[in-house]
Every structure is written in structure tokens, then in C-alpha cells.
Amino acid sequence: MYIAIILLGSTGVLTALILYFLAKKFEVQEDQRINQILEILPGANCGGCGFPGCGGLAEAYVKTTSIKGLSCPVAGVEAVKSIAAILGQTANKSIPKIAVARCSGSCDVRSRTNVYDSAKTCAIAASLYCGETGCSYGCFGWGDCMDACKFGALHINPTTGLAEILEDKCTACGMCVKACPKNIIEMRNRGPESHRIFVSCVNEDKGGVARKACEKACIGCSKCEKECIYDAITISLNLAYIDDTKCRLCNKCVTVCPTGSIIEVKGETSPDPSDRGGDS
């Protein structure tokens, strides 16, 4: 009996020693630079970088040989420089971005044709039907983008029923882009002094159909494309699109657009109402 106890005890001790030495041999040392980078990152865990939170981005930073393809849209320029210094690399020059809601179909230009009586979320509505107006491409105005934004940079204008971005709060994390089932919101260059021009419409119907559904719809008439000497505008699927890397903000396309669907923004900051109102 005593021999059995001694054998079992010896076996347990030997097993523990073997496991201890194996654990030491295969122990993975955490790179201390991860914690250093985490202290610099904003800790928003918004996913705008493409990784599951700031921890995932920090690990990616220390594992890569070049930080060129990595970025935190929320972190400022100085934060990026600090991270690059920790890694012994040079910070990439980044172009400031901002979210843009490409729909001008407010209630006064896009008449309601029916009433939606179900869960008031854009995702559910988009999977069930085209919307309460004749435009099946327009903003529902039920705030999925607003709910997705962790920075309070989005609201639904109670008067127009459309999503609006608050210039001074948008961090370009891109969560609103992912949340919009209509693909109305996109990330664009913020522009010099927040000056930018874009087509505020995503309707791909032919001109007559699009205009009937919304007075502000792009009708694909090509006037803007012909007017632009910088080749910044293309027409595809009956819809004009402005390449913000080519646009020189000359404003000529804005003046020739017959429907007013091309919008020029000059650093204006939207009000910050607490209301979440109005459907189109």
C-alpha cells in the first residue's frame, strides 16, 4: 500500500516537473511594445482599423515589417508618429477622411408613397422592401448609422429625415459605412479646410425615373462630366461620381448640375440636436 502511494506521488511530481519545463521551453514572451502602443491608441475599440479592437491593431503593428498598410482612423497624427518611433519606422503621411451621407432626398423633395409598419431599423427595412418613397436607394432615416457611431458624430435631422455627419466629431472610423444597408455613407477626403464636393445621390435608375422619385436625384445627364477639365467625374449606371483624389474644387460641376444633386461643403459643422426624428 505504501509503495503504491510512493509510486503515485513520484509519478505526480515527475509529471509536474515535465510540464513545468515544457511550459518554460514553449513560453511565448509578450512583446512589451504592444502595451506601449496600447497606451497611445485611443482605446475606442471601434474596429475602424479592420482589427477586433485596439489590442488587435497593436499586435499587428509589432508583427509587421512595415506599418504602411496599418492605420488607426481615430488616432491623431502625433499618435501615429509615436507608434512609428516605438517600432523604429517612419510614419505614413495620411489624408484626413470624413464620412459623407450621399442622399439629399429630404421629405420635401421625395414624396412618401406608403407607410412602413414594422421594426424601425434600416437593416430590417432594407431586407423587406424598398422604402416609404418612390426612391428605393434613399436614406431610411431610422438611425442604424447613428447607433453604430461611438463618437456621437451622426444624427438624423428631424426636419429632413436624413442622416447628417457632425464635422467636428467624425473620426472617420467607418462604422457608419458598415451599418448603412443602402451604401449611402462613404468615406471621402476631408479636403483642404474641410472643403469638398460630392454627388449627394446613389440612385442608379434612369434619369426620368430617378427625377420622378426625387427632385434632387442625379439623372446621369453628363453635364458635370463634360464640364470637368480634371477628369474627376465619371458616369456609371446612370449616376455621376466625383473622384476626390482628382477633384480640384473648381465648383463648375456644382453650377451646371440641373437637379442640384452635387453638393459643395465648405467646412460647415452641422448642429448637434438630441432629437432622432422624422422619416422621409
Can you give the CATH number for the domain in which 69 is found? 1.10.15.40
Tell me the residue range of the domain where 45 lies: 33-87
Least confident of 1-10, 137-146, 237-246: 1-10
Torsion of CA 78, 84, 85, 91, to 10 degrees: -70
Residues 179-187 have a mean pLDDT of: 96
Q: What CA–CA distance (Å, rounded) separates 197 from 183?
A: 18
pTM (2 d.p.): 0.77
Q: What is the pLDDT of residue 76?
A: 77
Q: What percent of the chain has pLDDT over 70?
A: 88
Q: What is the pLDDT of residue 211?
A: 95
Instruction: Determine, yes or no, domain membership for 250.
Output: yes
> In terms of DSSP bridges, do strands 97-101 and 185-189 run parallel, antiparallel, or are they unpaired?
antiparallel
Q: Looking at the structure, tell me whether residues 241 and 188 fall in a common domain.
A: yes
Q: What percent of the chain has pLDDT over 90?
A: 53
Q: Looking at the structure, tell me whether residues 80 and 116 fall in a common domain.
A: no
Q: Looking at the structure, tell me whether residues 238 and 123 fall in a common domain.
A: yes
Domain count, the chain: 2
Please write the tens of the pLDDT for every residue from 208-254.
999 999 999 999 999 999 999 999 999 999 999 999 999 999 999 99
Between 202 and 80, name the one with better pLDDT.
202
Q: Looking at the structure, tell me whether residues 52 and 103 fall in a common domain.
A: no
Q: Looking at the structure, tell me whether residues 80 and 103 fall in a common domain.
A: no
Instruction: Determine, yes or no, domain membership for 275.
Output: no
Q: Looking at the structure, tell me whether residues 60 and 136 fall in a common domain.
A: no
Q: Looking at the structure, tell me whether residues 80 and 104 fall in a common domain.
A: no
The domain boundary, picked from 87, 119, 150, lies at 87
Instruction: Determine, yes or no, domain membership for 2.
Output: no
Q: Looking at the structure, tell me whether residues 134 and 49 fall in a common domain.
A: no
Least confident of 53-67, 135-149, 173-187, 264-278: 264-278
Please write the tens of the pLDDT for every residue from 110-133.
988 888 888 889 999 998 888 888
Q: Looking at the structure, tell me whether residues 116 and 243 fall in a common domain.
A: yes
Q: Looking at the structure, tell me whether residues 152 and 253 fall in a common domain.
A: yes
Q: Looking at the structure, tell me whether residues 178 and 59 fall in a common domain.
A: no
Instruction: Determine, yes or no, domain membership for 135.
Output: yes
Q: What is the pLDDT of residue 14?
A: 72
Residue 280 has pLDDT above 70, yes or no: no
Instruction: Determine, yes or no, domain membership for 202.
Output: yes
Instruction: Determine, yes or no, domain membership for 187.
Output: yes
Instruction: Determine, yes or no, domain membership for 16.
Output: no
Residues 163-183 have a mean pLDDT of: 94
Q: Looking at the structure, tell me whether residues 171 and 200 fall in a common domain.
A: yes
